[in-house]
Chains A and B, each alone.
Chain A
Amino acid sequence: MINISELLEEIKASPFREITVRTPHTGRVTFAGLAQGQEVLGPQGQWKERPGTLLATLERERNPKPICATEKGVIDRIYNELEGQFVEAGTALMVIRHMLTRDEVEYLILKKALHLFLAPERAKYYFTPEVDKKIRAADAHSVVVRDGMELMIMSRMKREVPLHYSGPEGVIYAVYFKYNENIDAGAPLIGVCPQDQLPAIQDVIMRVRTEWTEK
């Protein structure tokens, strides 16, 4: 088992993450009038149904798209010189300094504690339709994976091949890939927790919940 206390101390030493807000696509930028040093909020509400602070608006083909903060933080840099300009996809608009939340710390620690099933190649990954259906109906925790089971579809260069799970039997505790996103070879796809280790993992989570204070 990993040393949780040590890991927590390590994270506490630098509890920040810099988030660069980039334009998702091309368009004309209008900033929302924020300044450096101002605090912004991430999505709010019980179901995160209220979007975060409006940072800028990106207009393309007459569709204004609001760009909102995805996390809570303080504006570290803002590229106001882009105001009113047509920008390319992936242009940096601002940098937000974000303090790690309890969930993020949990995520970091789980990534060390779980059995990770890694991507064999750089490709896009999907769950097989059967597994996908189960996950949609309940959640990932309901899916038990076994060695040799056909779990995913690996798609690259227009070819799709089934991917079989290898590793200990257990439940899918964390999913690390997004739909239609390219995953690098060696990056984790899912975190699996063997049934007998479930209590230990839940313990770890409890500790993070009690020891990490959110500001």
Chain B
Amino acid sequence: MLNLQDLYAMPLESHKVLVANRGEIAMRIMRACRKLGVAFTAIYTEEDAASGHVRLARETGGEKSLYRVSSYHDANELMSVADEAGCTAVHPGYGFFAEDFRFARRVMKRDRTMIFIGPSWKIIRELGDKINTKRLARSLGVPTVPGSDRPIYDEMEAERIARSVFEFQEQQGIRRPLVLVKASAGGGGMGIEEVYDIDVFRSVYRRIRNYALRQFKDEGVLIEQRITDFNHLEVQVVSDRTGRNPVHFGTRNCSIQSTGLQKRVEVAPGFAPGPITYSFDAAKVLTDIVDYSLTMARKVGYDNVGTWEWIVTRKGDPFLMEVNTRIQVENGVSACISRIRKDGRVIDDVDLLAEQVRIGLGQPLGYTQDDISFDGVGVEYRLIAEDPDNRFTPWVGRIERFQWKPQPWLTMLTHVPTDEPYEIPTEFDPNLALAIIWGKDLAEARARGLSFLDDLRLEGRNNAGEELKSNVNFLRANTERILRF
């Protein structure tokens, strides 16, 4: 029986990765595996039979490369398929098991051990808990958002904290104070609500608590002061299994979000201090958050890809919000502006997913921060069937036409077939596609983004015969304000 060290020592070609996810990210993982010469096995559920990831697995996978399972959420299913298919590693993608330390631990600690492609389970546990992250950050002198520093389980106590946060803001002269009620175990903008009025606090608190219990099996709720006027920045960190030499792949700005605080447009780098003037020293903020993030990564011995999420206020103060111990949807936007110098040649089609799989399987990073350089501006649009005029309510129905004009500066990532109609499944995120656009500077990236949106054809109908609703107009309207603060 192989142990973990044997697995890490194996050459890439001897590995087989279980792609424990669906849709667009499953496709990216499969492509990354093929690029590296690693075999893979994909899974799908009944509702997803028409998804592009199933088709890609059928077309490009080898033997035992596709299995139907009862649920993506059932760890037993994943383990039994991995054993049957002879997998040596599991890639969780994002969502589902990506930040579940118990799952990561199980993958590594079972009799037939496998590699979990992500940080080691102890690091996921340490940084997955927002409160623990906050404590760790404070101990290293990294600034964090004010509010409760542990999950609250008691209604009276929750109300008391909410009252004090309200009072504090009133004293600060904030005209419309509000508190943020968050599911402690939540993430990705799920289970967060704003409260403007202490009288409705209790009902919101109860709703979030019930939601948290149903979705995350933990009733804990956080109460935070909400910083309303801010930009949402991220630092992409990459480190190999030694955990000693983390590097960063720059910053991203993810401030353009839906009302539910879900990201819609992501831009790399985080600010553009040249073409845009800010009321603060933007270049210094970017350097600061990168330094803080790498300090924390070094401290915990971070050993895979991860994202440090930051809030930057109008005054230019950064606060650490949370650490996402996984690959993120928007990793491609950082990759598209990055170049790596490795073994005497320059890699300009950086693929962070391939890097994640490679270092996850035990390969050394092979380059340092000095070998990474950045060029241009990357913009990512999340194309979603939803109604931005109506609180971004998801639209469900059949997509009949989905076309775009191929461009050398455009990467389209989608699981939606373009040659046949596609029924949007209601079980998952309504994401249809990611469009990544590169420009040599902000102006060119913006112009190319608009021209992409103008050429895009996205049509469909639902059961009631209504036309497809999408966020294309929202994306177009917001292109003008990217990187502005």
* B60-115 at interface with A (beta carbon < 8 Å): 67-70, 74, 76-77, 79-81, 84
CB-defined A-B contacts under 8 Å, sample of 15: A25-B76, A25-B77, A26-B67, A26-B80, A60-B77, A61-B79, A86-B80, A86-B84, A121-B426, A122-B426, A157-B394, A157-B427, A157-B428, A158-B190, A182-B426
* A113-135 at interface with B (beta carbon < 8 Å): 121-123, 126, 129
In the complex the two chains form, is A156's CB within 8 Å of B70's CB?
no
Rounded to whole angstroms, the CA-CA distance of A131 and B427 in the bound complex is 25
In the complex the two chains form, is A89's CB within 8 Å of B394's CB?
no
In the complex the two chains form, is A156's CB within 8 Å of B67's CB?
no
Q: How far is the CB of A153 from the nearest CB of chain B, in Å?
A: 8
Rounded to whole angstroms, the CA-CA distance of A129 and B427 in the bound complex is 22
Chain B residue nearest to A89 in the complex (CB): B70
B429 contacts partner chain A, Cβ-Cβ < 8 Å: yes
What's the interface size class on B, roughly?
20 to 34
Chain B CB within 10 Å, residue with most, of A27, A158, A159, A182:
A158
Residues of chain B within 8 A (CB-CB) of A203 are none
A185 contacts partner chain B, Cβ-Cβ < 8 Å: yes
In the complex the two chains form, is B211's CB within 8 Å of A160's CB?
yes
A63 contacts partner chain B, Cβ-Cβ < 8 Å: yes
A84 contacts partner chain B, Cβ-Cβ < 8 Å: no
Q: How far is the CB of A142 from the nearest CB of chain B, in Å?
A: 22
Residues of chain B within 8 A (CB-CB) of A15 are none
In the complex the two chains form, is A60's CB within 8 Å of B190's CB?
no
A24 contacts partner chain B, Cβ-Cβ < 8 Å: yes
Residues of chain B within 8 A (CB-CB) of A60 are 76-77, 80
In the complex the two chains form, is A26's CB within 8 Å of B394's CB?
no
Q: Beyond A27-B80, A122-B426, A159-B394, is A89–B211 a contact (Cβ under 8 Å)?
A: no
In the complex the two chains form, is A88's CB within 8 Å of B426's CB?
no
Q: How far is the CB of B184 from the nearest CB of chain A, in Å?
A: 17
Q: How far is the CB of B387 from the nearest CB of chain A, in Å?
A: 12
Q: How far is the CB of B446 from the nearest CB of chain A, in Å?
A: 30
Q: Beyond A86-B84, A89-B77, A122-B396, is A25–B70 a contact (Cβ under 8 Å)?
A: yes
Residues of chain A within 8 A (CB-CB) of B148 are none
A37 contacts partner chain B, Cβ-Cβ < 8 Å: no
**What 1/0 flags go to A80-91 for Cβ under 8 Å of B?**
000000101110
**What 1/0 flags go to B360-404 for Cβ under 8 Å of A?**
000000000000000000000000000000000110100000000
Q: How far is the CB of A95 from the nearest CB of chain B, in Å?
A: 19
In the complex the two chains form, is A90's CB within 8 Å of B77's CB?
no
Chain B residue nearest to A155 in the complex (CB): B214
Residues of chain B within 8 A (CB-CB) of A122 are 396, 426
Chain A residue nearest to B207 in the complex (CB): A160
**What 1/0 flags go to B218-256 for Cβ under 8 Å of A?**
000000000000000000000000000000000000000
B210 contacts partner chain A, Cβ-Cβ < 8 Å: yes
If A121-B426, A159-B260 are given as contacts, then 4 extra A-B residue pairs at C-beta distance below 8 Å, sorted by A number, are A25-B70, A89-B69, A123-B426, A156-B427
In the complex the two chains form, is B76's CB within 8 Å of A129's CB?
no
Rounded to whole angstroms, the CA-CA distance of A159 and B193 in the bound complex is 12
Rounded to whole angstroms, the CA-CA distance of A60 and B426 in the bound complex is 28
Residues of chain B within 8 A (CB-CB) of A156 are 394, 396, 426-427
